[in-house]
Amino acid sequence: MLKRLFDISLSGLGLIVSSPFWAAIAVAIKIEDGGPIFYGQPRVGKDCKEFKSVKFRSMRPDSDAKWGAVPATEGDPRITRVGRVLRATAMDELPQLWNIFRGDMSFVGPRPEWTELVKKFRTEIPGFDRRHAVTPGLTGIAQIYGHSELDRRQKLRYDLLYIKKQTFWLDMRVVFISFLVTFTGKWEERSAKLPRLLGGRRSVRRRTAPLAKTSCEAPAVRN
């Protein structure tokens, strides 16, 4: 209950405070290539329920048609000039504040994956759906200690560690560190964010969380 109250309060405040940035970002995207401002994708949330995740578009309009849905890499030619700034500061994620306000997402949790990729990972990684036992997040342990090109099995370890150890105070710590990463523009670095920012050598031990119960046998679509 405390986590949900925090999500509603902070996302509501964030939507109001960030509204001037929305206008500036929209204008910048349109000026650069005239393409769509937003980019939406079906993502898998808690108990494998699907929802539509919306972000500011940071890649070329024809990216999916030309390259398909593949993770971004360093120096990725699909990313626009405006997109590089948005991704480095996580400003492309601002529209997901609405997903948090609605309850599709939380501020902290496993990052929601694209529906098509989830189908693929289910066949390649045993127990992948255990990460869907909790509400997905805007940020998480995997995003702080890892990066977008991290192996999916390693990301799953981080996600399951969070599920096993989650507390409200752990969420507060992750949110605080995520703000630091945003202010320093280090989200696109292909290295762990936490040791570099705080000067420590902390590492997350590889643990296997208990099997989480999910309702993934018949995924439902949330309108």
Query: 40 in helix, strand or coil?
Result: strand
Segment 48-106, tens digit of pLDDT: 999 999 999 988 887 766 666 666 666 678 888 998 899 888 899 999 999 999 999 99
Query: 219 in helix, strand or coil?
Result: coil
- Stronger pLDDT, 96 or 210, i.e. the higher one: 96
Cross-strand bridge partners of residue 51: 43
The pairing of beta strand 38-44 with beta strand 50-56:
antiparallel
Q: Phi, psi (5° rounding) for residue 221?
A: -105, 130
pTM of the model: 0.80
Assess contact for 148 and 59: CB atoms under 8 A. no
Nearest to 92 by CA among 197, 142, 150, 18: 18
Domain ranges for the chain: 2-198
